[in-house]
Structure 1
Amino acid sequence: MDLSLSPTQVQLKSSATEFLTAELPKERVREIDESPTGFDADLWRKMVDLGWTGMAIPEAYGGVGLTNTDFGVVAETLGYYASGSPLLDSAVLSANAILEAGSEAQKKEFLTAIANGQQIFTTAITEPEYGWGPSFIKMGAAHSGRHYVLNGTKLFIPWAHVADQIIVAARTSEGATPEEGISLFVVDKNAKGVSTRLMQGFIGDKVCEVNFNNVEVPASHMLGTAGHAWPALERSMDKATAILSTYMAGGAWKAYEMCRDYSQVRIAFGMPIGTFQYVQGNVIIALTESDACKWTAYEALWMLDTDRKETQIGVSTAKAVASDSFWKACDASHDVHGGIGIDITFGLTHYTKRARTFQHYLGDARYHRARMARLMEL
């Protein structure tokens, strides 16, 4: 296993760093986060122009056809700069759900729209009971002639307020196992009966409550076969989870750099606070947590790209580590900074709130440890 960057990946990292350094100083991150939508349309268009929305999409459907690791390199840089955008949800999770489950016609229609930035997609999985396993998907979709009628609520759905299309996981039947009976539908966000509410709180990327009230969806907008969508959705989630973990690694590394640098310049009792054992301990915690997050994430991406037998275990390992490591690195950095760390103009809280949000997204550490145990047949 060689986790060193290829020449293509070095170039991707360099161009992403140059772009984000210019576009996302910490003041701009705060402005975007505090805006009503949390979405910068101009920044998004520039990401589209860079080809980022097509990285995970094959060339046959208008994309670039890069590897998961290639995308992870860009995601790590996005995390380092605390960039908020629908890139993961549209160009990775939703795009892969279409790739895994969609017909050829659906791939040509929807993937091309994602790749060229014509439309933003998001995927609605979680519900008020909240969980990432198949047993938590309970929203119903009833077959009615040439349509399916969707009723129910999806909760904590990223970027639904700016999305054009929502891929909805719903039950079209009850199966012998929780995995059976789940279907995927592409729903127009502006369809009659669909409503979104932006949720408030100490949140990184914006999330929504999405309600479906007798929403009619053409049967042609079902991805794959009725009742058999879970395997495709799970594979899509694995790819998105590994790439999210690299984003979190980038954020954790920035939190480490901030506490390391501050410990070297903050003077107390006539000396840098980095000479004090307690401070040193926190700097080391931030370093080791961010390192663990990075390398388990890149190992998971390598496993996905090389189709390893234990890829699912590798992905869950990465997210179990990332879910804990990101917030631990941020907490250690806050311990070093003291009061200035909670000043929203300072910049550390950009990472703290993302650590606390992404800790749960696509499954928290507890969920992924339980999944690992199940996959290992323990």
Structure 2
Amino acid sequence: MDFNFSEEQQLLVDTVQRYVRDEYSFEARRDILKSPAGWSREKWQALAGLGLTALNVPEEHGGLGSGPVETMLVMNALGEGLVVEPFLPAAVMTPVLLTRIDDKAAAEQLLPDVASGERIVIVAHQEPQTRGEINHVATRAEKTSSGYVLDGVKNVILGGGAADELLVSARTAGRVGDTDGISIFRVDPKAAGVTVKDYGTIDGQRAADIELKKVAVPASSLVGAEGKAFAAIEAAHDQALSALCAEAVGIMKAVNATTLDYTKNRKQFGQPIARFQVLQHRMADMFLHSEQARSMSYLAAIRCVDSDAGERRRALSAAKAIVGQAGRFIAQQAVQLHGGMGMTEELMVSHYFKRLTAIDLTLGDADFHTQQFIAASNAA
């Protein structure tokens, strides 16, 4: 299989890496984290100016019409810089869901603004008991004469506090755990009955818990056919898994480079500790883990849109499990090689450690996806 990138793809990589290197330094990121919002609208507009928010938006709606491979390349570069703006939820999950849900009116109204970066639209799907099972939707949408009334709780919604508009999943029919009966509704985060609790997560990202108490929405807020949103949610979820794996690979690359540089400069017994054979073995193992994770990330990007559901599930779960294990190993080794300094806020390696830990836990951890892989293999 040819893993060489096209000239356009390489140009995309170079552009994002240059932006991260020149505009998203460790100090700049620290200042953003200290700001009241915890992320920067200015940086978001800069990403939009590079065309990144348009990456997954179809051309007919003002986007670039790119796919998972281009998203993988962008996430690699954003991972190296630990960019905290809500790229994954707003520029990957949302346009994929709106493209797959087959609602021309919603796509025409939302996707051009998503592509331009003018509006941040966030999918609010995860709930307290989801635990990686995306068909676990307990939030209810009761039909009324004028529309629907939503009741439920969504939690740890990535980028939820930055949302100009929410795409909320709710059950219009069936029981919790059914794939049928799940619908998507457009909800104003400032609407009566909606409470958004925004907070920072351990890795410097932002998330929100969203409570909906008898939130009345008009019938026009329904996106797509009633009760038929699961396939679109699954598509957004699968491409988000691929993107997360890619981000982790970018972080691993940065961790390995940072650790190698540190061991070349840190001296013990009159010589750089990089000369100690036992530490060379550790760094070789870190490199091997990162290369294996990279290969699985490529597989995830290729397979995340596979029409064969079983093949897609096996590839994505295998990738997420292996990337999670590799990230944990590399991060732990990096901190040990840095010594006590590796745990301090002043060193980037501690921030890499936290983000890799969070990525493993996002959308199902390594253990969960190992079980998913087994289940998908048994069903084949």
Q: TM-score with structure 2 length normalisation?
A: 0.94
- 1:211 to 1:300, Cα distance in 2 relative to 1, 3 A: same
Alpha-carbon deviations, 1:199-249, whole Å to 9, x = none?
Answer: 355233111111111111222222222222112211111111101210111
Counterpart for residue 166 of structure 2: 166
Residue 3 of structure 2 aligns with an amino acid whose one-letter code is L
Q: Does 1:137 align with 2:127?
A: no
Quick one: distance in 1 between partners of 2:194 and 2:183?
Answer: 18
Q: What secondary structure does 1:166 align onto? A: strand
Deviation at 1:36, TM superposition (A): 2.6
> 1:185 is matched by which residue type in structure 2?
F
Contact 1:285 1:332 in 2 (8 A): no
Name the SS for the 1:133 alignment partner: coil
Q: Percent identity?
A: 28
Moved runs in structure 1, 4+ residues, more than 4 A?
305-309
The aligned counterpart of 1:357 is 358
Counterpart-to-counterpart distance in 1, 2:132 and 2:167? 15
Q: What is the identity, as a one-letter code, of the residue corresponding to 2:324?
A: S
SS at match of 1:43: helix
Which whole-Å deviations, capped at 9, do the CAs of 1:287-328 have from their partners, x for residues lacking one? 122222221111221234675672232122221222222232
Match of 1:96 in 2: 96
Shift of 1:368: 1.6
Distance between the aligned counterparts of 1:248 and 1:218, measured in 2?
40
Q: SS where residue 359 of structure 1 aligns?
A: helix
State the Cα distance separating 1:138 from its structure 2 match.
1.0
In the other structure, the counterpart of 1:197 is 197
Question: Which one-letter code corresponds to 2:138 in the other structure?
Answer: K
Question: Is the contact between residue 136 and residue 176 of structure 2 (CA under 8 Å) also seen in structure 1?
Answer: no
**For the residues of structure 2 that align with 1:195 and 1:215, how far apart are their CA atoms?**
10
Describe the shift of the 1:283–1:176 C-alpha distance in structure 2 as closer, same or farther (beyond 3 A).
Answer: closer
**What CA distance in whole angstroms lies between the structure 2 residues aligned with 1:175 and 1:214?**
19
The RMSD of aligned alpha carbons is: 1.8
- Contact 1:152–1:212 under 8 Å retained in 2: yes
Deviation at 1:159, TM superposition (A): 1.2
SS in 1 for 2:161: coil
The answer (yes or no) to whether the contact 1:125–1:132 under 8 Å persists in 2 is: no
Listed one character per residue, the Cα deviations across residues 129-181 of structure 1 (whole Å, up to 9, x for unaligned) are: 24121453211111112321111211111111111111112211125962122
Matching residue's letter, 2:350: T
Task: For residue 232 of structure 2, give the secondary structure of its aligned residue in structure 1.
Answer: helix
Is the contact made by 2:137 and 2:176 (CA closer than 8 Å) also made in structure 1?
no
Which residue of 2 is the match for residue 50 of structure 1?
50
Structure 2, unmatched stretches of 5+, are: none
Q: Give the secondary-structure state (helix, strand or coil) at the position aligned to 1:64.
A: coil
Letter in 1 for 2:14: S
Residues 140, 151 of structure 2: 8 Å contact kept: yes
Q: Is residue 111 of structure 1 aligned with residue 111 of structure 2?
A: yes
1:290 is matched with 290
Q: What is the TM-score of this pair, normalised by structure 1?
A: 0.95
Match of 1:64 in 2: 64
Contact 1:282 1:333 (8 Å CA) reproduced: no
Provide closer, same or farther for how the CA distance between residues 172 and 330 of structure 1 changes in structure 2, counting only shifts above 3 A.
same
Work out the number of aligned pairs and report it. 378
- Residue 274 of structure 2 aligns with which residue? 274
Equivalent AA in structure 2 for residue 233 of structure 1: I
